[in-house]
Amino acid sequence: MDTRSSMTRVSAATALAAVLLLGPACKKESQETPPGGDTAATGAAATGEKKPAGAKIALLLPESKTARYESHDRPHFERKVKELCPDCEVIYSNADQDAAKQQSQAEAALTNGAQVMVLDPVDSASAAAVVARARQSKVPVISYDRLITGADVDYYISFDNEKVGKLQAQALVDKLKADGKGSGTLVMINGSPTDNNAKLFKSGAHSVIDGSGLKVGAEYDTPDWSPDKAQQQMEQALTSLGKDQIVGVYAANDGTAGGAIAAMKAAGVKPLPPVTGQDAELAGIQRILAGEQYMTIYKAIKPEAEVAAELAVALARGQAAPAGKVNAKVNNGKVDVPSILLAPVAVTKDNVKSTVIADGFWKAEEICAGSYKDACAAAQIP
């Protein structure tokens, strides 16, 4: 990891955060609104003021290395907003894993008149400055998929992310015990250290692995969720532990799983040990059917994006959250955030057909293209 580049990004993000917070301070109209629950939110939803039907909604996503954001989250969100509010405009930006860039995009969206902000943060902590700036403009913020920490967030929409880690780890432990390798050595390749979700995945995974009888021989956090960095980390683990000593790999998502698998294949590891993943990316599903990756976590992104759109449209119209949607409160270090949490599902070769294909997340012809035709036939897909 280039520490000089990292320091530059952090300094830039810190400086811009200061500008975001100080700029609007010159306006006497700025006023802090206490965090709300189901019926209390920033802006019009808090005051009862009705906003015009053609509202502006900002959707700020964190990166594009993970395929889901451009292929699923954005189109499902925009389609649902258009369905519910034909006159609404979605102001969209992707930060390309740059926290300072995301803060600039948030400021631009507010300047452009955004009345609600749906924010999936690059950096869960530094995004608190964006929330503070939005509140100064009386714009409610929905923390989407990743929890923004230390801020008066209005709502949080995601999955039970500690459960994600538990599902990944339990699937790995169960597989290894079934294979008679319940006391071997694992490598753990976690997610980005700036992503609060990654911390929850890791916590959930350790809650299962630590008492399983398996040993963690090497463990890494993966900056920016980079598959290339995951590949380098796996290469280091193979060198330090020995390629014949690793019985399984906990990889936090399909991108890091792909990097780990590439490193093992290059090193001549045969057969590949069980490798976990997450996001049900097309490449991940194909690797599962081909026997290169053991499992992934399917998070039904369509309902996640759609409920975010429903909530955003309601807040833009000065209404409360849709009835029955909020089902939890999650503490982000500052407040208990009214939350909508969805259930993740573990996917192996045995249930690809009944999960991601049955839900239309991927079509059989997409999965079974090219060299994966035979693997699909063996799994009775389609």
Confidence of residue 8 (pLDDT cuts 50, 70, 90): very low
Alpha-helix residue ranges (DSSP H) falling in 181-270: 196-209, 227-241, 254-266
Cα–Cα distance for residue pair 168/205, rounded to 1 Å: 7
Cα–Cα distance for residue pair 284/276, rounded to 1 Å: 10
pLDDT of residue 52: 53
Calculate what percentage of the chain has a pLDDT beyond 70: 86
In the predicted structure, residue 220 carries a pLDDT above the cut 80: yes
pLDDT of residue 54: 80
For the chain, the distance separating the N- and C-terminal CA atoms, rounded to the nearest angstrom, is: 42
In the predicted structure, residue 207 carries a pLDDT above the cut 70: yes
Cα–Cα distance for residue pair 375/245, rounded to 1 Å: 28
In the predicted structure, residue 18 carries a pLDDT above the cut 70: no
Mean pLDDT of 92-97: 97
Cα–Cα distance for residue pair 259/222, rounded to 1 Å: 11
pLDDT of residue 47: 46
Confidence of residue 24 (pLDDT cuts 50, 70, 90): very low
Nearest in space to 99 (alpha carbons), one of 137, 146, 34, 165: 146
Per residue in 35-62, pLDDT (tens digit) is 333 434 455 444 445 555 689 999 999 9
Bond prior to 193 in cis (omega within 30° of 0):
no
Cα–Cα distance for residue pair 310/234, rounded to 1 Å: 41
Per residue in 317-374, pLDDT (tens digit) is 999 999 999 999 999 999 999 999 999 999 999 999 999 999 999 999 999 999 999 9
Mean pLDDT of 143-159: 97
143 beta partners: 119, 156
> What dihedral do alpha carbons 345, 274, 231, 267 form, nearest 10°?
-160
The per-residue pLDDT of the chain, averaged, comes to 89
pLDDT of residue 162: 95
Confidence of residue 231 (pLDDT cuts 50, 70, 90): very high
Confidence of residue 17 (pLDDT cuts 50, 70, 90): very low
Per residue in 232-268, pLDDT (tens digit) is 999 999 999 999 999 999 999 999 999 999 999 999 9
Assess contact for 244 and 273: CB atoms under 8 A: no
In the predicted structure, residue 1 carries a pLDDT above the cut 90: no
In the predicted structure, residue 145 carries a pLDDT above the cut 80: yes
In the predicted structure, residue 16 carries a pLDDT above the cut 50: no
Backbone angles phi and psi of 323, in degrees to 5: -60, 135
In the predicted structure, residue 124 carries a pLDDT above the cut 90: yes
Q: DSSP string of 284-336?
A: HHHHHHHTS---EEE--HHHHHHHHHHHHHHHHTTPPPPTT---EEEE-SSSE
pLDDT of residue 53: 60
331 beta partners: 336
Helices and strands, number each (H, E), in the chain: 14, 12
pLDDT of residue 325: 96
Please name each of the domains of the chain with its CATH number: 38-159+301-342 (3.40.50.2300), 161-299+345-378 (3.40.50.2300)
